[in-house]
């Protein structure tokens, strides 16, 4: 049901023609797609079955995309999600980024990126991105997303977010003593301390993904 | 009320009349030889006070020029005529103060210094206990209060006008943002429908051609919406040290040009700027695209750069026909264009991007006939 079997997506957008077009595009790629025009109906679907990924609009009457994602993760914590929006720069986008998304894409939707991100989406493949006040957090997140994983960003001072056990925790741009303290506080988490290049992260993440595939 | 109205009202209020004017004129010959010295003292005091000095350095004139202007100002103070032209000349000073961002309270400090210096010199000219000394000090004091009032009045008027302009732009921004976002949904539907149709249209070349056109026009419309939205909102910046040569090379790649137009990129090696790669690429695309289009069928565009005081100065020059004087003055305002198909957002956007980076964009007329734009950006250590 997860990464290589039948892929099943739920597309949620109050703009019916757009929702249907996105569904048709995804169906052309061989996936099975359900469409809902509002978040409440979408939640009922999410409680009834498991999807490979959720594709949702942000601004909708009633519940918006951010509220939908929060509720969806209650129902299905392993669910990857991708957001499309006409409002890049919305405050709510920062909120969904913190909840973990595969991408936030603008409208008109760049179809190739949408297909590529969903194709690689892996349920439950979460990577914690633990960054202080860092300029690299965005690049680490993109790196993680390129591999179909969902990055969850937070700072060393925050409590880790709920959800599946992460494949990895990437500690970027953190002082040595702070990194060591964080590691002691979170035993059992596979930790990568990212100093300079992203290569170490690539190697570790690929190895974890291989184990993950075998296990799942 | 205009500054002249304020001036009149205050003249009545403080009782500044023909008698005072006569006294000021009478003081002039005795005081005039000291004006250069007073002016000297005035600017020496500003220069030794760092915050005031900083404002002065932001200004448009050299200190030498300003010292000269202050002497002329004192000449006017004692000679009049204190008419509408006089007030208009004085009003200009208040406007300059708004433009260079001088805080209002500095005007009081500056006026206090002038009052002290001029008053001390009046006391040297006239016997301190004499009635002439008393009325002369009174006339001087009234006149300086009037000067301060004009300055503050114009300062306030200009500040309010500036605020109104900012508010108008904010309203414009909200309208633009709302329309822009609303357009993205229908564009999104049209674009995804084209994507689906492209797979189905088969081999009919006519159908393919028209689908291609629809796709292109959607991209053009979306580009306009994106530029408009970029102009009115503060896109979050992701500033990093960037190799200038890479940013420029990627931008040049994106620019479409005729075969007869050559783009020559020089002396960028080793230069690094601190900035957001996507936004800077956009700025260079806009500058180089304009330059290439200005060349017409044949010509060349030169991009070169150098370090100046820790900043990187990049010049984009073309061999086109140059700019009209009428266009030059409003070059970086939105919706100003000389192209038949342009909407006039390119340079306005370059300006926004430059400002977000703490840089500047300007136009200079090169010795040749074309146009030259100079973008300065903060440098980054290599």
Residue B359 pLDDT greater than 80, yes or no: yes
Give the closest of B188, B229, B233 to A108, CB-based. Answer: B188
Give the closest of B185, B193, B233 to A107, CB-based. Answer: B185
- The pLDDT, as a whole number, for residue B114 is 93
Residues B295, B319 contacting (CB under 8 angstroms)? yes
- Through-space distance between the first and last CA atoms of chain B, rounded to whole angstroms: 56
Of A174, A71, A67, residue with least CA distance to A128: A174
Mean pLDDT to the nearest integer, B287-308? 91
Least confident of A7-21, B58-72, B109-123: B58-72
* B176, B178, B195, best to mutate vs chain A, most A CBs in 10 Å: B195
Please tell me if residue A141 touches chain B, with a CB cutoff of 8 Å: no
Structure tokens belonging to residue A30: 């061989």
Residue B223 pLDDT greater than 70, yes or no: yes
- The pLDDT, as a whole number, for residue B94 is 77
Q: CATH 1.10.490.10 in chain B: give the residue spans.
A: 1-233
Residue B30 pLDDT greater than 50, yes or no: yes
**Quick one: pLDDT band at residue B336, thresholds 50, 70, 90?**
low
Least confident of A38-42, A69-73, A113-117, B275-279: B275-279
Give the closest of A17, A88, A89 to B189, CB-based. Answer: A17
**Quick one: pLDDT band at residue B53, thresholds 50, 70, 90?**
confident
Q: How many CB pairs under 8 A join A and B?
A: 55
Coil vs helix vs strand at B61 = coil
Shortest CA gap A53–chain B (Å):
20
The share of chain A scoring above pLDDT 90, in percent, equals: 51
Least confident of A159-173, A190-204, B72-86, B195-209: A190-204
Least confident of A100-114, A202-216, B262-276: A202-216
Average pLDDT of chain B to the nearest whole number: 86
CB contact under 8 A, A87 and B181: yes
Pairwise pLDDT comparison (B90 vs B100), residue with the higher score = B90
Q: Which residues on B lie below 8 Å from A24 (Cβ)? A: 196
CB contact under 8 A, B184 and A25: no
Residue B277 pLDDT greater than 60, yes or no: yes
Mean pLDDT to the nearest integer, A68-83? 95
* A86, A106, A115, A140, best to mutate vs chain B, most B CBs in 10 Å: A86
Give the closest of A84, A86, A111 to B195, CB-based. Answer: A111
Give the Å distances, CA to CA, from A127 to A66, A67, A96, A216. 20, 22, 15, 16
Please tell me if residue B378 touches chain A, with a CB cutoff of 8 Å: no
Q: CATH 3.30.565.10 in chain B: give the residue spans.
A: 240-378
Q: Which residues on B lie below 8 Å from A88 (Cβ)? A: 229
| Dist. CA B7–CA B29, nearest whole Å | 25
Residues B271, B376 contacting (CB under 8 angstroms)? no
Least confident of A21-35, B119-133, B146-160, B281-295: B146-160
Helix A39-48 × helix A65-75 angle, to 10°: 20
- The pLDDT, as a whole number, for residue B152 is 86
- The pLDDT, as a whole number, for residue A26 is 96
Please tell me if residue A17 touches chain B, with a CB cutoff of 8 Å: yes
Residue B342 pLDDT greater than 70, yes or no: no
Structure tokens belonging to residue B198: 């492209």
In B, residues 25-84, which contact A (CB 8 Å cutoff)?
A: none
Please tell me if residue A138 touches chain B, with a CB cutoff of 8 Å: yes
């900035």: which residue's tokens? B275
**Quick one: pLDDT band at residue B365, thresholds 50, 70, 90?**
confident
- The pLDDT, as a whole number, for residue A31 is 95
- Whether a cis peptide bond, with omega within 30° of 0, leads into B81 is yes
Go through B266-279 and write b for each residue having 16 or more CB atoms within 10 A of its CB, e for each that does not.
Answer: eebeebbbbbbbeb
Residue B251 pLDDT greater than 60, yes or no: yes
Chain A residue with CA closest to B187: the answer is: A108
- The pLDDT, as a whole number, for residue B17 is 87
Mean pLDDT to the nearest integer, B99-108? 80
Residues B61, B93 contacting (CB under 8 angstroms)? no
**Is A8-120's fold the same as A126-215's?**
yes
Average pLDDT of chain A to the nearest whole number: 88
CB contact under 8 A, A108 and B192: yes
Q: Which residues on B lie below 8 Å from A28 (Cβ)? A: 196, 199
- The pLDDT, as a whole number, for residue A1 is 40
Structure tokens belonging to residue A78: 């392993």
- The pLDDT, as a whole number, for residue B37 is 95
In A, residues 156-215, which contact B (CB 8 Å cutoff)?
A: none
The share of chain B scoring above pLDDT 90, in percent, equals: 34
Give the closest of A21, A22, A86 to B184, CB-based. Answer: A86
Residue B59 pLDDT greater than 70, yes or no: no
Q: Which residues on B lie below 8 Å from A84 (Cβ)? A: 188
- The pLDDT, as a whole number, for residue B91 is 85
Shortest CA gap A60–chain B (Å):
12
Structure tokens belonging to residue B5: 């109205």
Judge: domain A8-120, CATH 3.40.50.2300: yes
One CATH from 1.10.3470, 1.10.150, 3.40.50, 1.10.1760 for A126-215: 3.40.50
Residue B103 pLDDT greater than 90, yes or no: no
- The pLDDT, as a whole number, for residue B192 is 94
Per 3-state DSSP, chain B is made up of helix, strand and coil in percentages (nearest 5) of: 65, 10, 25
Residue B286 pLDDT greater than 50, yes or no: yes
Name the CATH superfamily for B1-233: Globins (1.10.490.10)
Q: Which residues on B lie below 8 Å from A86 (Cβ)? A: 181-182, 184-185, 188
- The pLDDT, as a whole number, for residue B75 is 94
| Dist. CA B247–CA B281, nearest whole Å | 6
The share of chain B scoring above pLDDT 70, in percent, equals: 94
Give the closest of B184, B188, B196 to A24, CB-based. Answer: B196
Residue A2 pLDDT greater than 50, yes or no: no
In B, residues 234-273, which contact A (CB 8 Å cutoff)?
A: 235-236, 238-240
**Boundaries of every domain in chain A:** 8-120, 126-215
**Quick one: pLDDT band at residue A3, thresholds 50, 70, 90?**
very low
Max avg pLDDT among A196-210, B21-35, B39-53, B175-189: B21-35
| Dist. CA A106–CA A88, nearest whole Å | 6
In B, residues 158-197, which contact A (CB 8 Å cutoff)?
A: 181-182, 184-185, 187-193, 195-196
Shortest CA gap B230–chain A (Å):
10
- The pLDDT, as a whole number, for residue A181 is 87
- The pLDDT, as a whole number, for residue B134 is 92
Residue B207 pLDDT greater than 80, yes or no: yes
Give the Å distances, CA to CA, from B152 to B61, B104, B105, B270. 21, 7, 10, 50
- The pLDDT, as a whole number, for residue A4 is 58
| Dist. CA B120–CA B112, nearest whole Å | 12
- The pLDDT, as a whole number, for residue B340 is 64
Q: Which residues on A lie below 8 Å from B239 (Cβ)? A: 135
- The pLDDT, as a whole number, for residue B57 is 73
CATH number of B240-378: 3.30.565.10
Mean pLDDT to the nearest integer, B153-163? 84
Residue B2 pLDDT greater than 80, yes or no: no
Residue A203 pLDDT greater than 60, yes or no: yes
């Amino acid at each position: 049901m997860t990464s290589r079997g039948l892929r099943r997506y739920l597309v949620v957008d109050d703009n019916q023609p757009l929702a249907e077009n996105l569904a048709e595009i995804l169906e052309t790629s061989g996936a099975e797609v359900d469409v809902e025009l509002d978040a409440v109906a979408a939640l009922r679907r999410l409680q009834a079955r498991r999807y490979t990924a959720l594709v949702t609009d942000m601004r909708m009457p009633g519940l918006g995309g951010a509220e939908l994602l929060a509720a969806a993760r209650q129902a299905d914590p392993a669910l990857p999600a991708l957001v499309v929006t006409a409002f890049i720069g919305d405050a709510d986008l920062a909120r969904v980024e913190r909840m973990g998304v595969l991408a936030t894409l603008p409208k008109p939707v760049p179809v190739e990126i949408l297909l590529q991100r969903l194709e690689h989406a892996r349920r439950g493949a979460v990577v914690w991105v633990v960054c202080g006040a860092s300029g690299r957090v965005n690049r680490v997140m993109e790196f993680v997303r390129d591999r179909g994983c969902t990055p969850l960003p937070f700072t060393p001072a925050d409590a880790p977010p709920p959800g599946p056990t992460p494949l990895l925790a990437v500690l970027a741009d953190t002082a040595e003593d702070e990194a060591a303290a964080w590691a002691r506080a979170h035993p059992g988490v596979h930790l990568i301390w990212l100093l300079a290049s992203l290569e170490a992260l690539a190697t570790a993440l690929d190895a974890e993904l291989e184990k993950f595939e075998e296990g799942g | 009320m205009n500054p002249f109205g304020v001036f009149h009202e205050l003249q009545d209020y403080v009782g500044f009349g023909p008698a005072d004017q006569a006294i000021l004129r009478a003081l002039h010959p005795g005081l005039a030889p000291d004006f250069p010295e007073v002016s000297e003292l005035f600017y020496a005091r500003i220069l030794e006070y760092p915050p005031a000095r900083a404002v002065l350095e932001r200004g448009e004139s050299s200190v030498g020029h300003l010292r000269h202007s202050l002497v002329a100002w004192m000449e006017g103070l004692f000679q009049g005529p204190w008419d509408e032209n006089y007030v208009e000349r004085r009003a200009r000073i208040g406007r300059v103060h708004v433009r260079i961002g001088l805080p209002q309270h500095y005007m009081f400090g500056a006026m206090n210094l002038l009052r002290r210096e001029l008053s001390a010199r009046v006391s040297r000219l006239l016997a301190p206990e004499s009635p002439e000394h008393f009325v002369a000090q009174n006339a001087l004091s009234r006149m300086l209060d009037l000067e301060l009032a004009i300055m503050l009045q114009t300062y306030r008027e200009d500040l309010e006008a500036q605020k109104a302009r900012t508010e108008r732009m904010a309203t414009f921004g909200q309208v633009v943002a709302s329309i822009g976002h609303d357009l993205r949904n229908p564009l999104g539907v049209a674009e995804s429908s084209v994507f689906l149709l492209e797979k189905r249209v088969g081999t009919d070349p006519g159908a393919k051609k028209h689908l291609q056109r629809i796709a292109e026009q959607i991209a053009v419309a979306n580009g306009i919406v994106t530029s408009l939205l970029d102009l009115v909102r503060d896109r979050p910046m992701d500033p990093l040290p960037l190799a200038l040569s890479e940013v420029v090379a990627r931008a040049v790649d994106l620019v479409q040009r005729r075969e007869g137009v050559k783009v020559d990129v020089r002396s960028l090696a080793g230069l690094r700027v601190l900035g957001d790669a996507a936004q800077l690429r956009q700025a260079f695309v806009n500058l180089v695209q304009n330059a290439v289009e200005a060349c017409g069928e044949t010509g060349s565009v030169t991009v070169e750069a150098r370090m100046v005081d820790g900043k990187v100065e990049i010049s984009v020059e073309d061999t086109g026909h140059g700019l009209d004087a009428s266009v030059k003055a409003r070059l970086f305002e939105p919706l100003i264009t000389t192209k038949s198909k342009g909407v006039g957002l390119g340079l306005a956007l370059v300006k926004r991007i430059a400002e977000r980076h703490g840089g500047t964009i300007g136009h200079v007329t090169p010795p040749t006939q074309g146009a030259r734009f100079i973008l300065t950006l903060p440098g980054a250590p290599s």
